Amino acid sequence: MIVINARFLTQKITGVQRYAIEICKRFPESIKEKRIILVAPKGELINKEKLNFLKIHQFGNFKGHLWEQIDLVNFLKNNNNPILINFGGIGPVYYKNKITYIHDLAFKYYPKNFSYLFQKAYNIFVPISARNALRVITVSNYVKKDIESHFNIKNIEIIYCAKGNHFKNLSLDREKIILAVSSLDPRKNFNRIINAYQQLDSEYKLYFVGAKAKSFSKINITNESINENIIFTGYLSDDDLNELYNRASIFVYASLFEGFGIPPLEAQACGCPCIVSNKTSLPEVYLDSVEYCEPESIESIKNKLEFLIKNKEKREELVKKGYKNIARFSWDTSAKKLISIISLEI
């Protein structure tokens, strides 16, 4: 038996949840024959329909982290301690027959951006959980080096993210829209993007897509328009998001810290040129396919926005480079790599 910690099915889709869903969708028959079971807490499963071809078992009385440490562990013990795949979060800290993911160490670099309990729990328990794992998987070489440095762990594999197949060019007319997509986490740097945008002399509108996570501490952004030209859509379905990627003329991702950073890949798949932060893993992922900005500089973000607004040839060049860049990443390839790792452990 292979057990998947399916707590991600209770959460709205951001990068971690999308990663887990896309990989699970690609488990081949050879692995399914080992009896894959997705185990989730009782209650509403937001994204159940995306994986309804796999067996989903809802178990236990708790929610959140307590469910992982008590109910999920009890399920594993009652089923002869099978191998567990933990796609994100902390996971069962002391359970050793597991492969666990660490997507980034943002909680170490930006503790004030998270609730007190969240960052304390992650700082204490993520290293313990990782050291108790058969393998640790992360999503970029940048994060691998970070984990090795902070936790002194060597059994780390890299399995990249990719973009979903539903994100594609719909050949819509481009509108005067600058688009930013992510959770409303302070390290996504929305305040500086707003300040940079407000200094532009332009007819472009600025759209933000994303929902605020419960774990984030207070931020100065709401899901309301600051004015008629700055629009917060809140969370959007994949279909609506795909359409907005296709209507936008420029995508901006001025994040201060990323383990990988999927949204610019989605934008590139939709033919939207990107401005991306030059920090952390992002140059590793995007190479020369984007225009880079210094995310801590409002002036840099403003200048890059201004440059792409005025330079149609550069936008067209970045669209072509974007298509080449997304070809470097594939959920099929990533799933095959995880399957090969699982096969070594079962």
The pTM (predicted TM-score) of the whole model is: 0.91
Say how far apart CA 35 and CA 49 lie, in whole Å.
19
Residue 215 pLDDT: 46
Any idea which residue has 């140059």 for tokens?
283
Which tokens sit at 126?
């993520």
Residue 144 pLDDT: 98
Look at 46-50, 128-132, 203-207 and tell me which has the smallest mean pLDDT.
46-50
CA distances, 158 to each of 29, 96, 116 (Å): 24, 20, 30
Instruction: Give the domain ranges of the chain.
Output: 2-162+330-345, 177-326
Report pLDDT digits (tens) over 53-62. 889 999 999 9
Report pLDDT digits (tens) over 169-215. 999 999 999 999 987 788 999 999 999 999 999 999 999 998 755 54
Say how far apart CA 7 and CA 9 lie, in whole Å.
5
**177-326 maps to CATH 3.40.50.300:** no
Say how far apart CA 216 and CA 182 lie, in whole Å.
13
**pLDDT band for position 221 (50/70/90)?**
low
Same fold for the domain at 2-162+330-345 and the one at 177-326? yes
DSSP three-state, residue 22: helix
Residue 98 pLDDT: 98
Residue 224 pLDDT: 46
**Average pLDDT of the residues in 12-21:** 89
Specify the CATH class of 2-162+330-345 in words. Answer: alpha beta
Pairing of strands 36-40, 205-209: unpaired
User: Which residues does 341 contact at the CB level (< 8 Å), separation at least 6?
Assistant: 99, 135, 137, 157
CA distances, 42 to each of 56, 70, 89 (Å): 11, 14, 18
Which tokens sit at 160?
């990249």
Say how far apart CA 225 and CA 235 lie, in whole Å.
14
**Average pLDDT of the residues in 8-26:** 91
